[in-house]
Structure 1
Amino acid sequence: PVPTTPVPTTPIPSNCKDDYEFMCANGECIDVRRKCDRYTDCSDGSDETPATCPPRKCTVYEFACDDGYCIDNRRVCDQYNDCTDGSDETEAACSPVTTSVPTTPASTTPVVTTPIVTTPVPTTPVVTTSVGTTPVGTTRVVTNPVPTTRVVTTSVPTTP
């Protein structure tokens, strides 16, 4: 076998603004905010490679796509591929999550309960006072146990 020797590469001089631009592998300059945004901006794709964009740890509010990107949890299982690899719409991502709750032995500490006692409210008989009789009926004043008074008129059948 013939030994292979790596071909030395000549660094491409950067015309990019250090603080504002990212230099693509082919020498192009793109806005630094476009690097690792899941869209290929460099014509050679070098702004979205794993070497350029190492996976980051997603927050608790994000879903970790299988391709290393993070998306908002609310975008998982919305019938739209938000992860470039579609991992946010897979059966594994969309199946219900089951969690086990650790069980503890039953407590042997006695529980003190206080009985609820209901005292009946005393009732006072209704007082009916006849005020007068008219050909139409009898007018009465009815006084309820609470200090309210109302007038009730009842019809009396008339005989021809």
Structure 2
Amino acid sequence: YVTLRRIEMFETAMSKIEPGHDRVAEAIDEAWRQNQTEEYRAYSELSNAAHTDPDLAAVFRPAMAAYDLARRKTAMALFSAQEKRAEGFHLRRDVTRFLLDGLATHGWFGDDGDTRAAQILQFLKVLAREPESRRLLAKAARDATARPDRREPRKPPSRRG
């Protein structure tokens, strides 16, 4: 339910962003607003719990994949063909999404939390607009694809009595 509700909220909000506006800034602001909702908090809690609960993971991982696909389709409909063809488009989307998610989930900064959150939102908007930032992210994506890290993940130490 929470995933379907988040998809609906995201699609509805993004469909209201009008051409000619700063779509990137509006999309970032809206994604941040949505990360302040009860739906986001429930989604975040379920996502975290799914890491350690195999039964929940079996149900929730497909829901998370559906949400990711819906966000991707919505972005593809929101932005122009030129914007979507720009190098690093999807990486910028991912960086924005996961930084906002982390900020919403773990961004308890104390007294200056609102200021720091505003600075991070502004950083993401600059990152999305600046050609040099776009080039650096595109290079990072190319480099990661060309030379993937092939190391096996570390296994936890065995428990021997």
TM-score (ref. length: structure 1)? 0.20
Bigger CA radius of gyration? 1
Structure ranking higher on relative contact order (CA contacts 8 Å, 6+ apart): 2
TM-score (ref. length: structure 2)? 0.20
